[in-house]
Structures are given as C-alpha cells and as structure tokens.
Chains A and B, each alone.
Chain A
Amino acid sequence: MELISAIVEHYNYWAVIFLMVGGLYIVVAKSNMIKTLIGMALFQTSVYLLYLSPGKVLGGTPPILDKAIKTYSNPLPHVLILTAIVVGVATLAMGLALIVRINEAYGSIEEDEVIDLVDREDAAE
C-alpha cells in the first residue's frame, strides 16, 4: 500500500523519467539527425519538468504578487527554466544549421551514412 501511494505521489517524477528516457533513447538510437535533435529537445524539456515539479506548492498561485493571495509557487525554478528553454532553442537552431550544411556537403542527414563517408575520407588520407 505504501508503495502504491509512493508511486502515485511521485507520479510527476515517473512521467518525467519516462519522457527523459524516451528522449535519450531517440538521441542514442536514431540515426536521423533531425530526429536526434528532436529527441534532445524532448530530453531537455523533461528536465524542465523535474525542476518545476518540486517548486509547485499545492494551493499556491503563480508568483505574481497580489494582496489577496498568501501562497505562491516557487519562482526560482521558473526563472531557471526560462533560461534553460532559451539555451535549448539556441542549441536546436545551431544543430539544425549544422544539419543543413552537412546535408549540402554529404547529401544525407543519416548519421551512420555520413560517418561512413567520413571514415572513407579518413582511410583515403
């Protein structure tokens, strides 16, 4: 019983962990570069949830001060995650730019195909 209640109470964490693992799996398993980047974004987003979850206070409101309200959720995770989101999109943009260039250079966006070509160039040296 305790176990079940523990599992339920940590539901957010489970969801986070599932998303995280899913994202990580895409990054490691998928050869398609665009999909890899999407997986990376999923992975990052799930981490955001991990930050936000403990900061939520039941019965609290968004941290915009008002005389009528006493309980607020924790603003600090929000700030951190705002920054993290921006970092995430910056990385995504950079990654996509690289993919576009790789596609122009190698004619493929499949990582294993590109690496084959790279290996061939290495061998030719």
Chain B
Amino acid sequence: MRLDVILRIAAKLMIPFIMLFAIYVQFHGHYSPGGGFQAGVIIAAAVILYAIVFGISAALRVMPRAAVEFMVPLGVGIYAGTGIVSMLLGRPFLDYDPLLADPVAGQYWGVFIVEVGVLVTVAGAMLAIFYAFALRGRP
C-alpha cells in the first residue's frame, strides 16, 4: 500500500498535464499533428490512468458510465448533425462552406466542430470499452 503513494502523487501531478496536452492536441490540430481522435484517446488514457491508480470506483465518480454512454453517440451526432446543417443550407452533406459567411472560414470552423465530435465519441468510446472490460472482472 505504501508503495502506491509515489504512484498516486505522480499520477495526480501528471493527469492535469495529460489533459492539457489533450486539449493542445485537439485545438492545435489545425497547425500540428493531432486532432480529435488523438485527443480523445489521450483524454481516455488520462481517465484510465486515474482508474488504474485510484481504483475504478473513483474513476466512475469522475466519469460516470451514464455520461460515457451518452458521449459515444453524442459525438457522431455532432459530426453528422453538422452535415445535416450543410444540407439544410442547400449544400451537400458535410459541406462546411455555408456554415459561415466566408466559405474558407466555414471550412476552418467546420473542421473544428467535427473534430470536437470526433473527440467526444472517441473519448467516450475508449472509456466505455475500458469500463466494460474492467467491470467485467469484478465479482
């Protein structure tokens, strides 16, 4: 038990930075490698680390299963919903041009929005899968 202490402290220190890194990967994806998927995986990794170190129950308090299960479809909804908005605005599915007055800006922010969708689903899905495995082992 005592040996955990170092691990716990290290984890407590690291997790915020991991989250920060995820946010960086997400928002800087336009300029450097990364994007919604990688950021989602990293967020999930942070929570998984938390779960491994502090126990699954603690992780479930931070990220309840219901929330995770909600995130999984939500991200796809955001992504596909963007496409539907394009259609409502008279352009083909997933055409971001009409989202803003300037088509280039539309593209820029359209990509941003769908990346958020990716992030939500990927983070949710990875956690959901992790929970599914982790909780299966419990009596």
Q: Which residues of A contact B (CB under 8 A)?
A: 62, 64, 82, 86, 93, 96-97, 100
**Contact present for A100 and B33 (CB under 8 Å):** no
**Contact present for A64 and B32 (CB under 8 Å):** yes
Interface assignment of B96: CB less than 8 Å from any CB of chain A: no
Q: Which residues of B contact A (CB under 8 A)?
A: 31-33, 37, 129, 132-133, 136
Which A residues are CB-close (under 8 A) to B129? 93, 97
Partner pick for A86 among B32, B37, B132, B136, CB 8 A cutoff: B37
Partner pick for B33 among A62, A93, A96, A97, CB 8 A cutoff: A62
**C-alpha spacing A96/B37, complex, angstroms:** 21
**C-alpha spacing A54/B123, complex, angstroms:** 32
Which B residues are CB-close (under 8 A) to A93? 129
Which A residues are CB-close (under 8 A) to B37? 82, 86
B contacts with A: majority SS = helix
Q: Which 10 A-B pairs have the closest CB atoms?
A: A93-B129, A100-B136, A86-B37, A64-B32, A97-B132, A82-B37, A100-B133, A62-B33, A64-B31, A96-B133
Apart from A64-B32, A96-B133, 11 more pairs, CB < 8 Å = A62-B33, A64-B31, A64-B33, A82-B37, A86-B37, A93-B129, A97-B129, A97-B132, A97-B133, A100-B133, A100-B136
**C-alpha spacing A82/B122, complex, angstroms:** 13
A105 to chain B, nearest CB (A): 13
Which B residues are CB-close (under 8 A) to A97? 129, 132-133
Q: Which residue of B lies closest to A78 (CB)?
A: B33
Q: Which residue of B lies closest to A90 (CB)?
A: B125
**C-alpha spacing A100/B32, complex, angstroms:** 38
**C-alpha spacing A97/B37, complex, angstroms:** 22
